[in-house]
């Protein structure tokens, strides 16, 4: 499994706090998932990340949106299962426990909105890429809806506010 951390233009206003959050998220990923190499899709505003996180593999987010960043990263990593993490969201152990890292596409939500974590298995990546192409200007949750409506692929939604997931 590969981990894809996505930076986008909306986060550039809070760059320093985003970098601190990235350090915390990276520590948790290494500790809980045992993954050292992380892929980061960044905009021009986050070029300082090259110095701060030399262990990351970087991919350019030319459009600067979340969905396009996810798309670019997934195109590069499409031979593996991918865990997508929004760089603007704090990753906590509860989120990792709530999202099943098995063979079904899934996303984490909170109060009906994406909570910053999604899992796409290798066999669904091609279809998810096509779904993203149709939703570049919208939320990632719309890409999941297109995955179901256009390709008939089920996905799992886990709500972090609910006890049962």
> In the predicted model, is pLDDT for residue 163 greater than 90?
no
Indicate the pLDDT class of residue 124, thresholds 50, 70 and 90: very high
Q: Which helix (H) or strand (E) holds 67?
A: helix 66-76
Domains of the chain (ranges; CATH) run: 2-159 (3.90.550.10)
CA-based R_g, the chain, Å: 15
Cα–Cα distance measured from residue 70 to residue 90, given in angstroms and rounded to the nearest whole number: 17
As a whole number, mean pLDDT of residues 106-125 equals 94
Q: Which helix (H) or strand (E) holds 8?
A: none
> In the predicted model, is pLDDT for residue 44 greater than 60?
yes
């Amino acid at each position: 499994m590969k981990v894809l951390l996505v930076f986008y233009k909306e986060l550039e206003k809070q760059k320093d706090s985003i970098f601190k959050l990235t350090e915390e998220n990276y520590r948790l990923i290494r500790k809980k998932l045992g993954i050292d190499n992380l892929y980061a899709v960044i905009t021009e505003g986050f070029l300082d990340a090259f110095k701060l996180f030399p262990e990351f593999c970087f991919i350019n987010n030319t459009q600067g949106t979340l969905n396009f960043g996810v798309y670019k990263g997934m195109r590069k990593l499409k031979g593996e299962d991918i865990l997508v993490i929004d760089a603007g969201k704090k990753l906590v152990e509860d989120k990792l426990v709530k999202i099943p890292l098995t063979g079904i596409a899934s996303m984490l939500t909170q109060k009906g909105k994406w909570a910053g974590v999604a899992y796409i298995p290798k066999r669904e990546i091609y279809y998810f890429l096509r779904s993203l192409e149709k939703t570049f200007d919208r939320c990632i949750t719309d890409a999941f809806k297109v995955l179901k409506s256009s390709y008939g692929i089920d996905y799992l939604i886990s709500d972090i506010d609910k006890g049962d997931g």
